[in-house]
Every structure is written in C-alpha cells, then in structure tokens.
Structure 1
Amino acid sequence: MATTTDSASTERTPPSGGAGAGRRWAMLAVSTLAQTASAVALHGPAFLIPVLHGREGLSLATAGLVSAAPMAGVLLSLVAWGLVVDRRGERLVLGCGLAATAIAALLAASARGPVGWGLWLFVAGAAAASANAASGRVVVGWFPAHRRGLAMGIRQMAQPLGVAVAAVTMAVLAEQHGVRVALLVPAVAAALACVAVVTVVRDPPRPARTVEATRSPYRSDRTLARIHGVSMLLVVPQFLVWTYSLAWLVTDRAWSAASAGTLVAVTQVCGAVGRIAVGHLSDRVGSRMRPLRWVAAAVVATMVLLGVAAHEEWAVAVLLLVVASTVTVADNGLAFTAVAERAGPFWSGRALGVQNTGQFLAAAAVPPVAGALVAWTGYAVTFASASAFALAALPLVPVRAESAPRRRSP
C-alpha cells in the first residue's frame, strides 16, 4: 500500500510464477466459489432457526445453539488449517477441506434430532474452515499490492453470497420439506467447489525462506493483534443481522419465509457489492485502516437507527435492515487483506487463521446469546445494543501503525 515503506507494497507488476492475468482471475473466481461454499455450510444453518423452533420444538436458544455448531467447529481448526497452508500449500488444503465438508454435511442431512445435527454441523464447520484459511492466501499470493484490495473485496463477497444462497434455498426447503432436505444444500455446494479447486487452483509462488522472513510477526508488533480485536468487535453486529434478520421479518413483521429469504438474499448481494467497493476504495486511498474506521462509524449509526425503527415499527426499518446488512460486512476484506500483508508469506496462513478464529469465537456466541436477549428484551433493543461493539472498535483501528514498516507482502 502507498502508506507503507515496504517496497513490496508499491510493486506494479503481478507476482511471478507462470500464471498470466487470465489464470489469476480464474483462480480468484474459484477461490470465491470455495469461500461461498464454506459460507453456505457455516451460515446456512441460521436459516433453519424458524423451523427448528416452530416445527421441531426446540427453544429459540437451543435452535441458535444448533445453528452455531459450524462456527464452533471453525474455532478448533482455523489455525491448524493455516499452519498446513504455510507448510503444504493452498490447493491441498482447499481440496481436502471441501471434500470433508461435503461428506459431513451429507451426514448431517441423514441425522435425527438436535444432537446429530449439531455434531455433524460441527464437523462440517471444522472442515469448511479450510477455505477461510487458504482461499484468501491464493488471492493475496497471486495479486500485486495495488490490486489486492479490489481482488480481496471480490473474494470477500463470497461470504454474503453464501448467505444469500442459503437464504433462498435452505430457508424455503426447510419450510417445505424439512431440515434434512435443506442440509443437502451445503453438501452439494462443497462438492462442486472441490471439483473446481482441483481443476483450476495453483499454489502462489513464495520467496526463499530466511530467518527474518519466518520469524513470528506477533513478537514485536501489536498491529496484528489490534486488527484481530477490531474484527472480533465488528463481527457481533454482522452476525446478529445475519442470524436473526429472517426470524425478525417472519415473527415481528409477519413475512412469509420465502419473502423474508428473498429480502435477505438481496441484502447479501448488496453486502457483496459493498465489499468490492470498499476494497477498491482502499486501493485508491492507499490505506486499509482508514476505510475500516469509516465502516465502523457507519455500523454504529446504522444499528442505532435500526433499533429505533424496529421499536417504533416504522416501515423504514426494513430499509435500514438492508443498509445494516451492507455496512456490517464491509470491514472483513479490509482487515483480511491487512493481516495477510502485515504477516508476510510464511505466516499469513496462521495469521489469517488467528484472524478468523477470533471472529468466529465472537460469532459463535452471537446466536444463543442474542436469542436469549431477543426473548428477554425484543429485537429492537438487541439490534441497537450491537452498536456498542462497533463503537468500542473505533479507537482500536490502527490507522497510525499502518504507515510503519511491515513484513514483506506475500
């Protein structure tokens, strides 16, 4: 980036290694597909909450716990997958992880009851974490610094797109045919992505190993830790909106599951476009952290307004839900890119694993805790309370530290 003193940040030529521009964009497309399949497996179960609660007889908190099982699996595997990425490469991790995700999701579809669903969704989440650890490294490794913000913004749109796919498929299938049929969606998505990865993806080139290059970036630099902390705080409003927007529309606004799922899908497309725009903006302004601070401020304002509108039952509350779904996801690509650039090519896999572990640690707590809070105070107060997390993140964004020398970019 232009704000750093590292020469790697201002390189104007693509990385070497025998891949032309067309091949790099193809790998970006497949990496995005892999991350989309992972997002379906991780976040799709949230759209089963109305059926788990209304038809299967689970309490709202228990249904939220089942939906959080994939994220709990992620927590135990992200750093391990990142270590394998650093040692063995991205293609192997993506191929094996997506295959295991497809198998675990298929077993979840054949399970009976919340224990079986939770167990196999936990395994599916642990396997799907491979895409979080490796697909971003493919993008950062193959694209030069002045295009990484845009490229990573495209890759990061996979998460809201995965949520959109789950919203228009799993929610409707669960309502019409039951939970077991709905759980076939992540199995099919992961299997298709696995085939694409094996066909297209190649490991990006890495420089020679040196003592300096392989030294831990966490020893003398708190910048990475601050980015991790900011991301953990900002993920709370993001996952609150993702997890309970459909349930709010169905229960409080009396929408059908199909209509609510369609709106959620639209909001996720808006979020995907927003990630691309913010990533491109970071390339233009030569900074990842300044746009990240702008996004955090927007989240504070939006969640407060959404809470007020939901409490007053204003029609504009639905529009504010769309805005909230857009701005709460905009930070991920900025933080993800900054972590990979700061950590360097021999630590970025583990650093990205730590980054996502922190996010999913916070995210895994959101469904059950927010479910209990909704039952106690209602959706309006729950939405507004999420603004406190974004407000706490504002002073932690390391804008000044961004201009300090960092490790060589991947």
Structure 2
Amino acid sequence: MTAGGGDSNRRWLMLGIGMTAQCASCVFLYGLAYLVPVLRAEEGLSLTSAGVLVTCPTIGLMCTLVLWGAAADRFGERVVMASGLLLAGGAMGLAVAGDGVVWTGSWLAVAGAASASVNAASGRVVLGWFGPEQRGVAMGVRQMAQPLGMVAAALVLPPIGTAYGFGAALLFPLAFCVLAGIAIALFVVDPPRAAAVEGAAKSGSPYGTPVLYRIHAASALLVIPQFVVVSYSADYLVQDHGWTATSAGRLLAAVQGVAAVSRLVVGAWSDRMGSRLIPMRRLSLANSAAVAALALAAWLSSWPAIVALLVASVATVCWNGVAFTSVAELAGSAWAGRALGIQNTAQNLTAAVGPPVFAIVIGGPGYAAAYGICAAIPLAAAALTPVRAEPKRTGAVAVGSTAAPVRSRG
C-alpha cells in the first residue's frame, strides 16, 4: 500500500497501537520467566515447578491461536484484539485473587488463551495497512513488541516480586493488558481489504504445497533455543554467577532492547533484499554459532559466558519478524489470520515444552549441556527453510489481496 497524507499517518498509528497491544501481552506471556528466581526463593518451588508455572500462559495461548486467527479473518482486528486483552486482564485478576499453584496456573492458562487474540490480529494489521515494500520494516516494528515487553518485564517484575511476591507482580501485566484493550477499542480502525489481484486464488487454501509447513516447522525449531536462553538467563546469572534477581533483570532488559532493534534492522534488510527466507536461513546459522559459543563458555565457567549469553539473547530472537512476514504474505488476506495462528501455535508449542524439558537437563548435566543441545537445533531449521520456493518480487501486491499458492521449485 502506498498511501499518502492521512492514510499514511493512520497506518503508522494503527501499527503503533497494535505493537503496544502485542507488548502488553508479551509482558505477561513471556516476562514471567524473570520471576523464576522469586518463585524459587519466595514461594519455595523447584526449578521444574517454577518453569511449568510461568509456561502456563503459553499453554493456554496454543489452545486458541488458530481460533482467534479465524475470528480475525471473519470479524476484523479491532474487536478481536480488544476483547481478548480485556478477557486476559480479567483472568489475571482471578489468578491473583486465589491461592495455590494449581489455581494460579489454571487462570494464567486462561489469560494466555485470551491474549492469543493479539498475536494473529496484530499481524493482520501489518498485512492490511502496509505494502510489500514496507512490510519487513512494519513487521519488524510489530515484532519489537516481544523483546520490548520483556524489557518492561525485566525492569518491573523482579523488584515487585522480590518485595511483595509473585501475585503482586502480576498486577503490572494485568493493568497493561486492560489499558491496551481500551485503547484498541477506542482508536483502532480495521485495515481496508482490497479485492484479490488478477490471477490469485480467491478462496483456496495456501497449504496445498509444503512451503508454509516448512516455514512453520523451521520457526518452531528456532523458538527452542530462543526460549531456553531467555527463560533461564536470569536463573543462570543468579545461580552460576552470583547475581541478584534485580541486577540480572536490569542487564537482561538492556539486552532485550538491543534485540528489539535487531528485529527492525532485519526487517529493513529483508525489504531491501526482496526476500524474507534468505535472511531467515542466514540468521538460523548465526543463531547456532552464538549458542554454541555460549555452551563452550558455560562449560569453561569463564566470565566470557556472560558476554556470550548477551549475544545469544539477541541472535536467538532477531529472525522472528521475517518468518512472520513471509507467512502473512504467502497466506494472503483471506488466510493470514489462520496462517499466523498456526505459525504461533507451532512456535508456542515448542516454547511451552522446551523450558520444562531443558530444566531437567540443566538440573543434571548443567547449563553448558543444555546450551550445547540448543546450538544444534537451528541447523535443522536452516535446512528446512524453503528459500528456493520464495517467489521473486516483481512489483507491489495489492493490499489485502489473497496471494496465489506458492509452488516449490525445489
């Protein structure tokens, strides 16, 4: 979409509100990992139990992503995002009001299921309001929400949790989600949905070829080292290097700020290259190298492990925006919500399973072994990324158009 004047201003406003909504959900969905030291020290939970509890929102998220995506395809972005965030806030309130790990975990899962609305619908905003020549940057801005949400979580949650407990710390993401939901209800306008371009499939599924399946699978694999590094980075600094939870949170907040900018840079790179999947494959290889260096430094128990941890924290997240952009573009407007829902489901499945499984490895052989295993996973993702199946960009695609199914060239 090449818009001028008011339309141009409006699309950036819609993107800003959508990113804020995504940020609110990410504080809750992924920022609770920074409270693992609090859960262990103040609540007396084991590392495995704490890992399961902070993963409950992700488990709930997986159950409803495709349903919310279908709702966004059918009813539009505004109503889906606003209702989901407000419901998530209510569920978090119930989690705080009760007591016990089962009660808290159950309502955290419900809140995660409600917040899933933002993941698919905010991606549709990018697809609908921005043309292909700007979608990499726009999706990079949208995908900055996750690391920025984790910055906010790292700065705010550990001090509150240390001083007042886990339940008090939940009040921050609760308020953030409710305020973001109100802002969406008041200000968001659904993007226009133009007619399909000539020759494009009007209603057929984009899943007639293996292309999207391969992107989903590669993305799901790349999430494993991302979430293992992020979920236990605070605990690694506390347990293996003697840091306090608050000091670790401050350092990791700064790192997540760099990670947020990296997604924007990668998005601009993909726009200039005219490809999403070539950068994705190259970043998969860089991901593997960064985590392998972390594994080696952790095994040597040397101070460079802290530097390696910071590098790996950026390398394991910077690829995400180009993967989402490719899925949205290849699926087209008619299927974008569902395709992004499937993408998110696959990623969050491995995000939910990965930390508890690797907690067992960490509790046994230790962090070096866990990082070493994680270093091998991006190599498989690089092999799966269907670079040769990506269509060449010969011109702008109509905004909201339904992309023709892409046939693999090898």
- Is the CA contact 1:111–1:117 (under 8 Å) kept in the aligned structure 2? yes
- Is the CA contact 1:77–1:126 (under 8 Å) kept in the aligned structure 2? yes
What is the DSSP-based 3-state SS (H/G/I as helix, E as strand, rest coil) of the residue aligned with 1:76? helix
Q: Please report the RMSD computed on the Cα atoms of aligned residues, expressed in angstroms.
A: 1.8
CA deviations on 1:258-292 (whole Å, 9 max, x unpaired) are 11000110111011000000000000111001110
Alignment of 1:254-333 (within 5 A): 254-333=242-321
- Is the CA contact 2:129–2:399 (under 8 Å) kept in the aligned structure 1? no
- Is the CA contact 2:128–2:191 (under 8 Å) kept in the aligned structure 1? yes
Question: Is residue 105 of structure 1 aligned with residue 62 of structure 2?
Answer: no
What residue number does 1:183 align with? 170
How many Å apart are 1:408 and its aligned residue? Answer: 7.0
Distance of 2:143 and 2:184 partners within structure 1? 17
- Is the CA contact 1:271–1:325 (under 8 Å) kept in the aligned structure 2? yes
- Is the CA contact 1:72–1:125 (under 8 Å) kept in the aligned structure 2? yes
CA deviations on 1:192-236 (whole Å, 9 max, x unpaired) are 1112212221111113479932211102x2111110001000000
What residue number does 2:374 align with? 386
What residue number does 2:225 align with? 237
- Please list every run of 5 or more consecutive structure 2 residues that lacks an aligned counterpart in the other structure: 401-410
Distance of 1:72 and 1:155 partners within structure 2? 22
- Is the CA contact 1:26–1:200 (under 8 Å) kept in the aligned structure 2? no
Alignment of 1:4-403 (within 5 A): 13-14=2-3, 20-208=7-195, 212-219=201-208, 221-403=209-391
Distance of 2:361 and 2:294 partners within structure 1? 16
Instruction: For 1:29, give the aligned amino acid.
Output: G
- Is the CA contact 1:35–1:135 (under 8 Å) kept in the aligned structure 2? yes
- Is the CA contact 2:127–2:333 (under 8 Å) kept in the aligned structure 1? no
Q: TM (normalized to structure 2)?
A: 0.93
How many Å apart are 1:112 and its aligned residue? Answer: 1.0
What residue number does 1:3 align with? none
Instruction: For 1:391, give the aligned amino acid.
Output: L
What is the DSSP-based 3-state SS (H/G/I as helix, E as strand, rest coil) of the residue aligned with 1:403? coil
- Is the CA contact 1:174–1:182 (under 8 Å) kept in the aligned structure 2? yes
Distance of 2:157 and 2:205 partners within structure 1? 42
Distance of 2:114 and 2:81 partners within structure 1? 9
Aligned sequence identity (%): 47
Distance of 1:349 and 1:86 partners within structure 2? 5
Distance of 1:209 and 1:223 partners within structure 2? 21
What is the DSSP-based 3-state SS (H/G/I as helix, E as strand, rest coil) of the residue aligned with 1:362? helix
- Is the CA contact 1:246–1:260 (under 8 Å) kept in the aligned structure 2? yes
- Please list every run of 5 or more consecutive structure 1 residues that lacks an aligned counterpart in the other structure: 1-10
Q: How many residue pairs were aligned?
A: 396
CA deviations on 1:308-348 (whole Å, 9 max, x unpaired) are 11121222211111111111111110010000000010100
Distance of 1:365 and 1:278 partners within structure 2? 27
Distance of 1:171 and 1:231 partners within structure 2? 29
Instruction: For 2:328, give the aligned amino acid.
Output: A
- Is the CA contact 1:240–1:367 (under 8 Å) kept in the aligned structure 2? yes
- Is the CA contact 1:32–1:155 (under 8 Å) kept in the aligned structure 2? yes
- Is the CA contact 1:73–1:122 (under 8 Å) kept in the aligned structure 2? yes
How many Å apart are 1:405 and its aligned residue? Answer: 9.3
How many Å apart are 1:381 and its aligned residue? Answer: 1.3
How many Å apart are 1:404 and its aligned residue? Answer: 6.6
Distance of 2:283 and 2:399 partners within structure 1? 24
Instruction: For 2:90, give the aligned amino acid.
Output: I
CA deviations on 1:96-139 (whole Å, 9 max, x unpaired) are 00101111112112221211110111011001111101011111
How many Å apart are 1:296 and its aligned residue? Answer: 0.2
Instruction: For 1:70, give the aligned amino acid.
Output: P
Distance 1:37 1:157, change over 3 A: same
Distance of 1:121 and 1:268 partners within structure 2? 24
Distance of 2:155 and 2:354 partners within structure 1? 22
How many Å apart are 1:49 and its aligned residue? Answer: 1.3
- Is the CA contact 2:66–2:338 (under 8 Å) kept in the aligned structure 1? yes
How many Å apart are 1:54 and its aligned residue? Answer: 2.2
Instruction: For 1:164, give the aligned amino acid.
Output: V
Q: TM (normalized to structure 1)?
A: 0.93
CA deviations on 1:73-118 (whole Å, 9 max, x unpaired) are 0110000000000100000101100101111112112221211110
What is the DSSP-based 3-state SS (H/G/I as helix, E as strand, rest coil) of the residue aligned with 1:330? coil
How many Å apart are 1:146 and its aligned residue? Answer: 0.3
How many Å apart are 1:19 and its aligned residue? Answer: 5.4
